[in-house]
Amino acid sequence: MKNLPQFAVVGHPNKGKSSIVSTLTRQDAVQVSEISGTTTESQAFSLSLSGEAQYTLYDTPGFQRPRQVLAWLENHAQNAAERVSAVKKFLDEFVTEPGGKFHDEVELLTPIMNGAGIIYVVDGSKPYSPEFEAEMSILQWTSQPRMAMINPIGGEAFVDEWRSALSQYFNIVRVFDPMTADARKQESVLSAFAELHEPWRTDLERTLTALNKYRDQLRSQGAFIVVENWLKAMTHQETLKVPASFAKNALEQQLRQRYQQSLQDIESRMRRDLQSLFAHTQLQTDMDSLDANIPDLFDKSSWYMFGLDRQKIIALSTSAGAAAGVVIDVGLGGASLMAGALAGGLVSGAASFAATLKPEKLKIKGVPVAGEMLTAGPVGNLAFAFVLLGRAIDFYDTVAQRTHGDRRTVTVKHTRFDERLERLSKSEQIRLTRTVQKAHKGLADNDLLQLREWVQTLCSN
């Protein structure tokens, strides 16, 4: 197994260690709690890009008894040279004590003494106080490469104060908010990791390149999810037979509801796919539901027994007539030059054309074999087509920008589509509109791929 860069994220309880691990490893399964002390065991989480692990972060419990640990260490080290072995001795002594007094310290120091770099997390919204010094001293005793991360959980009021205190104990100090960190911030933290320990530099620089590539890939695949599902919604049709004209209004209402439900289902499938792609499977979202109350929703046509449409019936009866004509042609040894087939087809086709002109009058022994058919969809209304696309892009944009440490319910903000359109050139705007206009008839592969590119441009991520 490759020796990956690894870091233990440590600190006082409830300073956002788990959120940082979650954001930097893109794992939304890391337990994040606002309650202090919920993490009880060190656990490794890796950032994997397309199945390939890049680095490992250890989510650790917070320091519970740092002054007692430091006192113990000081009693077991006569000089600075013995400090590392004192920490090891501490682990040897207390590791066999499950649930013991120093359980949390053992848990957090073990990965460090196994070679992990240190990321010490503090809260930048609360003032620095000397009681943190015991923790920082212990970390110093381990002699592992270490950096400090100021997490501005509730603001940045004391960031400068913290920075000057931390810089006395740590090689690198960075401000990082796991709730809002965009790609650039995350990259800057990774660059800091690379600076921390020379042997990991190459791996981490490779990770930075891979991460950029991976983000591009996710953007492209996310846009494809949007386009695929939008097209499904655009071309979706619901049909309902109207057996009697008095039931038509009620059936129209029923069909409208069914159609709306189908569009909502397509939209929720798209959201689920996007969440899954961006590894936000547990994300709670709040978005107004789709209203498909569009004008000219219904189209009327006719239904026939056996589920065939009029065109099919005429085509089939033409073929049957032609086949009968062929029999005559064979009987004449081909001398008729297929005239029988031609005549049979024409006569039979014309007869079925005439017979299906008024479907409601087609009855067998008084039982209707044809009638009116109500069809809802596909989406021919251009404005509604843009509404569907806009909603999909809004959601995609929100999920793509969401960090994994942020567990609040996300409210999808709607951006005016014309604002988004500004990101395309005039000619592209026209081409996009033309593509949207014809989408209800289905799109060819090239149109789909082009639309994917446009969706990526229309997004702000």
Partner 1 sequence: MNLSPQKQALNFFMSHALSNALFLWLEFRLFVARRQTLTGVDSANEPHTADSLLKTWFDQSDYDQAGAISSSLYWMLMAGAGMFAMAGVLTVSVMQPINIWWPLWLFAFLPFLMTLVSLLVSLVRKPKTVKGQGLLFRWVNRVGFARFAGHERLLVRWMLWVRQFGLLAFLLSAIAAFFLIAMFQDIQFVWSSTFVRTADGMKIVFDIIALPWSWFYDAPSVSQVAASHAGNLLSAKPMTENTMWTFVLMAVVFYGLLPRLVLVSFSYYRLRKQLARDIEASSDIEQFIVLHQHRESQNALVADKEFSGLKPVEILQATHDLVGWQLTQSDFPLIRILGVGDWQDDESWLTSEQAKRNKPVMMLADIWSTPTGELADCLAELSKKNKSVSLVIVAKQDLDARSETQIRSWQFFAEQQSIELGLGV
> Count residues contacting partner 1 (CB under 8 A)?
72
Q: Judge whether 27 and 405 are in contact, CB under 8 Å.
A: no
Segment near partner 1 (CB under 8 A); pick from 170-178, 214-222, 360-368, 380-388: 214-222
Smallest separation, CB 66 to partner 1 (Å): 8
Can you tell me the distance from the alpha carbon of 295 to that of 380, in angstroms, rounded to the nearest whole number?
10
Q: Does 431 bind partner 1 (CB under 8 A)?
A: no
Among positions 29-68, residues that touch partner 1 (CB under 8 A) are 29-31, 33-41, 43, 45-46, 48, 50-53, 59, 62-68
Per DSSP bridges, beta strands 367-368 and 363-364 are antiparallel
Among positions 237-296, residues that touch partner 1 (CB under 8 A) are 269, 272-273, 276-277, 279, 281
Q: Does 131 bind partner 1 (CB under 8 A)?
A: yes
Instruction: Tell me which of 7, 8, 12, 162 binds partner 1, using CB under 8 A.
Output: 12
Smallest separation, CB 217 to partner 1 (Å): 7
Smallest separation, CB 290 to partner 1 (Å): 18
Among positions 310-329, residues that touch partner 1 (CB under 8 A) are 312
Among positions 163-192, residues that touch partner 1 (CB under 8 A) are none
Smallest separation, CB 49 to partner 1 (Å): 9
Segment near partner 1 (CB under 8 A); pick from 13-21, 192-200, 357-365, 413-421: 13-21
Q: Does 235 bind partner 1 (CB under 8 A)?
A: yes
Smallest separation, CB 68 to partner 1 (Å): 5
Segment near partner 1 (CB under 8 A); pick from 23-31, 174-182, 346-354, 365-373: 23-31
Nearest residue to 294 via CA among 229, 380, 216: 380
Please identify, using beta-carbon distances, which residue of 196 and 439 lies nearer to partner 1. Answer: 439
Please identify, using beta-carbon distances, which residue of 51 and 199 lies nearer to partner 1. Answer: 51
Q: Does 100 bind partner 1 (CB under 8 A)?
A: no
Please identify, using beta-carbon distances, which residue of 200 and 224 lies nearer to partner 1. Answer: 224
Please identify, using beta-carbon distances, which residue of 174 and 404 lies nearer to partner 1. Answer: 404
Among positions 375-394, residues that touch partner 1 (CB under 8 A) are none
Among positions 110-129, residues that touch partner 1 (CB under 8 A) are 126, 129
Please identify, using beta-carbon distances, which residue of 171 and 336 lies nearer to partner 1. Answer: 336
Please identify, using beta-carbon distances, which residue of 115 and 418 lies nearer to partner 1. Answer: 115
HEC string for the chain: CCCCCEEEEEECCCCCHHHHHHHHHCCCCCCCCCCCCCCCCCEEEEEEECCEEEEEEEECCCCCCHHHHHHHHHHHCCCHHHHHHHHHHHHHHHCCCCCCCCHHHHHHHHHHHCCCEEEEEEECCCCCCHHHHHHHHHHHHHCCCEEEEEECCCCCCCHHHHHHHHCCCCCEEEECCCCCCCHHHHHHHHHHHHHHCHHHHHHHHHHHHHHHHHHHHHHHHHHHHHHHHHHHHHHCCEEEEECCHHHHHHHHHHHHHHHHHHHHHHHHHHHHHHHHHCCCCCCCEECCCCCCCCCCCEEEEEEEHHHCCHHHHHHHHHHHHHHHHHHHHHHCCCCCCCHHHHHHHHHHHHHHHHHCCCHHHCEECCEECEEEEEEECCCCCHHHHHHHHHHHHHHHHHHHHCCCCCCCCEECCCCCHHHHHCCCCHHHHHHHHHHHHHHHHCCCHHHHHHHHHHHHHHCCC
Q: Does 206 bind partner 1 (CB under 8 A)?
A: no
Smallest separation, CB 153 to partner 1 (Å): 8
Instruction: Tell me which of 180, 221, 285, 429 binds partner 1, using CB under 8 A.
Output: 221
Can you tell me the distance from the alpha carbon of 438 to that of 379, in angstroms, rounded to the nearest whole number?
10
Instruction: Tell me which of 452, 454, 458, 459 binds partner 1, using CB under 8 A.
Output: 452
Q: Judge whether 177 and 154 are in contact, CB under 8 Å.
A: no
Tokens at 156, concatenated: 């940045």
Instruction: Tell me which of 8, 87, 194, 225 binds partner 1, using CB under 8 A.
Output: 225
Tokens 């007869």 label which residue? 351
Peptide bond before residue 61 is cis, with ω within 30 degrees of 0? no
Among positions 141-160, residues that touch partner 1 (CB under 8 A) are 154
Smallest separation, CB 419 to partner 1 (Å): 26
Q: Does 70 bind partner 1 (CB under 8 A)?
A: yes
Q: Does 299 bind partner 1 (CB under 8 A)?
A: no
Nearest residue to 6 via CA among 214, 240, 193, 284: 193
Instruction: Tell me which of 80, 81, 335, 364 binds partner 1, using CB under 8 A.
Output: 335
Please identify, using beta-carbon distances, which residue of 425 and 437 lies nearer to partner 1. Answer: 437
